[in-house]
Amino acid sequence: MAVGLSACHTLDLNPLSEASTGTFYSNQTELELAVNDLYRLAFWGNDNELFSDNEWHRGQLTNAVIGGTMNADDAAVQTFWLNAYKAIARANSFLANKDRAKANTPASILLRLEAEIRLIRAYQYSRLVTHFGDVPLLTQPVALEESYSIKRTSKDEILTFVFAELDFATANLPSTYAAADIKRLTKGAALAIKARTALYMGKWDIARDASKAIMALTGTYALNASYPQLFLRAGETSKEMIVSIPRDEKQQVFSVAAYVQDNISRNAGGFGAQLPTRDLLDAYEAIDGKPIDESPLYDPKAPFKNRDPRLTANIVEFNTQWLGYNYTPHPDSLLIFSSKENKKVSNKDTRAVAAFASFTGFLWKKGIDQTWPDRLVEDNDAIIIRYAEILLTYAEAMIELGTIDNTVLDAINQVRARAYGVSATDTKSYPAVTTTNAVALKQILRRERRVEFPREGLRYMDLIRWKLAEKILVKPVIGLPDPAAQSRAKWPFPGVTPLDDDGIADYTGFGTDVKVLAQRSFDKSRQYLWPIPAVEKRVNTNITQNPGY
């Protein structure tokens, strides 16, 4: 036994199932691993649609943005911040150590990987400055001891850095990848992030140039022929996608059942809880191109008729089959026909039957495919930037620059025409924009963005940068009256909703013919910027806080 004791095991034990940085980044495979890691959804994404006037959740009622309760301990803000800096730290670590692999990695591949990771890092800073303003700018690995003296860098300085980095990525990334290659970030992705960042920060000329450069990449990007199909599986490999993060149930990347159920009808086994708002519905033009309060074609008794086709592509029309059941929230429709069960069934989508059926009366259709009720899995790719946004970014930048020309109209009309499934030149088949009046065009463009991108997470930043949040995010959330209070003669809507120049709907004239579901609140003294997470200031007193927090 003594012999056994004297023959010791070693104490130099290394991790058995992980790698360690001491030896990492030493060959092409490891460099690729490091870059791949940053293609995950944690590091990409647009804002939460619930932060806007397009969507509301019955159960959550509110969130810190529309509840006006944002503060420096907000968990969502902290996660957003931390994830951005995690990507930055890993990118910095890659850039500082990549030369370890120089000897055994082709220079062209090394350069491409560097461009990818610098693009991803620039994207993180773009997200940070647009939400927080000034933030710490770290461009190389920082030791813990040094990190305590770091201060916030002005957003202009960071912006300069971001644009330069994106220029580097633009110069060194390919426009496309061969089908057999792994599809990674492209030149177009770098330009698109640049265009969006510039637009958000009011750098109109940069936004114009970057979007123009993408439009000039002939054959690379195009609008998908079908608007509704774009958001389903068929659209995932469309030429319209510039940056998207794949998701797939088989690869264990998907949203869980609760999310799916929140979004689908109760008849189909969902909760009907996460809903389009009434004011989104009212934002869609009539097919004559006029807002509902101006168009003679609009009838509040048949609100889905004669409307921009994107309305019924995005929101479930009443009295249509949806996920196998006729959808109507009408309080007297206690039975509805189900094409799935081929018989009449109890209508769980009216509040006369189920108290928690859609409170606004509406359900999302956009991006929801017919397999959701069976799979209870959402694995649609996350769309980060698509070509339509570039067209509208170009148009908006040009309008803001006061250089309105046919290219502006053409960019907007391409998006509008696609909604109708026609070519932009076929101006008889859709309400083409012809005005060159800057004020009118600005209104049209802003409305166009709202009706084109709902549920894609772009509305929040639009409200922030247009400074409309303080006007819009203080309006109540409007729902259908309770079944008992619903005047059947005024179904579904009691009248034409008046809209102001900013497209803000006014429901105050309808009295009890509409129901106020909840009050939104927005503290304009502070909420245009998010709070720097409280922990930063606790740890490092050099970090200042945004005003009001």
Partner 1 sequence: MVFLNLTLIPKYPKNMRQKHLLSIVLLLVWLSPLMAQTKEVTGKVTDEAAKDLPGVSIVIKGTQRGTTTDANGVYKLAIPEQGPVTITFSFVGYQSQDVSLGGQSTLDITMKPEDKALSEVVVVGYGTQRKKDLTGAISSIGARDVAGRQTIQVSDALQGSIAGVSVTRTSGAPGSGSNILIRGITTIGTNSPLIIVDGVPVSSIDNVNPGDVENITVLKDAASASIYGSRGAAGVILVTTKRAKSGQGSLEYTYEYGVQRATAMPKYVGVQDYMRYFNEQSTNDGASTGPFAQSLINNYLDSNRVSPDRFPNTDWQKSLITRENAPRQRHDLVFTMGTGKIKTKASLGYSSSGAFYDNRSYDRYLFRVNNDLQVNDKIGVNLDVFYKRTANKGNANELPNNDFNPIYEGRVMPPIYDDVYSDGRVAFGKDGRNPLAKLRNGGFTRSLGNQIGGRMSFNYKPVNGLTVTALVAPVFDLDKNKYFSKQIRYTNPDGTPSTVVNQARTVLNEGRSESVSINGQLLANYVKEFGGAHTIDILAGFEENYRSLETLTASRSGFALTDFPYLNSGSTELRDNSGSANASGLHSFFGRLQYNYKSKYFLQGNLRSDLSSRFAAAYRKAVYPSVSAGWTISEESFLKNNPWLSFLKVRGSWGQAGNERLLDKDGNPAYYPYLATIDFSNALFYQNGSVVPLTGGGQQVYAVENITWETSKTLDFGLDAAFLKDRLTISADYYKKTTTDILLPLDIPLYLGYDKPNQNAGTLNVRGWELEGAWRDRVGKLGYSIAANLSDAKSTVGDLKGTEFRGDQIIRNGSQYNEWFGYLSNGLFQTQDQITGAPVLNVTTKPGDVRYVDVNKDGKITTDDKVLLGGALPRYLYGGNLRADYEGFDFGITFQGVAKKLSRLNTDAVQPFAEAFGNMPADMVGKFWRLSNTADQNLAATYPRLSRTSNTANYSLSDYWLIKGGYFRVKNITLGYTLKQDLIKKTGVQSLRFYISANDVLSFSKFPKYLDPESASYSYPIVTTLMAGATIRF
Subset of 34-53 contacting partner 1 (CB under 8 A): 34-40
Cβ distance 138 to 88 under 8 Å? yes
129 binds partner 1 (CB under 8 A): no
Closest approach of partner 1 to the CB of residue 24, in Å: 5
Q: Measuring CA to CA, which residue among 365, 326, 101 is closest to residue 230?
A: 365
Cβ proximity to partner 1, 212 vs 348, nearer residue: 348
Cβ proximity to partner 1, 33 vs 225, nearer residue: 33
Give the CA dihedral 385, 391, 393, 399, nearest 10 degrees.
Answer: -170
**Radius of gyration in angstroms for the set of CA atoms belonging to the chain, rounded to a whole number:** 26
**CB-based contacts of 447, cutoff 8 Å, min separation 6:** 283, 285, 291, 503
| DSSP symbols for 457-479 | T-HHHHHHHTT-HHHHTTSPEEE
Cβ distance 528 to 133 under 8 Å? no
Structure tokens at 44: 């990409």
246 binds partner 1 (CB under 8 A): yes
Cβ proximity to partner 1, 68 vs 289, nearer residue: 68
Cβ distance 495 to 509 under 8 Å? yes
Indicate which single residue of 50, 422, 504, 535 sits in contact with partner 1 (rule: CB under 8 A). Answer: 535
**CB-based contacts of 252, cutoff 8 Å, min separation 6:** none
The single-letter DSSP state of residue 135 is: B
33 binds partner 1 (CB under 8 A): yes
Residue 521 has φ and ψ, to the nearest 5°, of -145, 140
Q: Please, which of residues 356-375 interact with partner 1 by CB under 8 A?
A: 356, 359, 373-375
Strand partners, 244: 383
142 binds partner 1 (CB under 8 A): yes
| DSSP symbols for 255-312 | B-HHHHHHHS-TTTT----EEE-HHHHHHSPBTTS--TTT-TT--TTSTTTTB-HHHH
5 binds partner 1 (CB under 8 A): yes
346 binds partner 1 (CB under 8 A): yes
Cβ proximity to partner 1, 438 vs 485, nearer residue: 485
Indicate which single residue of 108, 251, 342, 434 sits in contact with partner 1 (rule: CB under 8 A). Answer: 251
What is the total count of residues that contact partner 1 (CB under 8 A)? Answer: 122
Cβ proximity to partner 1, 107 vs 180, nearer residue: 180
Closest approach of partner 1 to the CB of residue 378, in Å: 10
4 binds partner 1 (CB under 8 A): yes
268 binds partner 1 (CB under 8 A): yes
Q: Which runs of E-coded beta strand occur in 375-514?
A: 382-386, 477-479
Cβ distance 50 to 60 under 8 Å? yes
Q: Please, which of residues 79-98 interact with partner 1 by CB under 8 A?
A: 81-82, 85-90, 92-93
String of contacts with partner 1 for each residue 453-492, x by CB under 8 A: -----------------------x-----xxxx-------
Cβ proximity to partner 1, 13 vs 107, nearer residue: 13
Cβ proximity to partner 1, 442 vs 526, nearer residue: 526
Stretch that binds partner 1, among 212-220, 263-271, 300-308, 456-464 (CB under 8 A): 263-271
249 binds partner 1 (CB under 8 A): yes
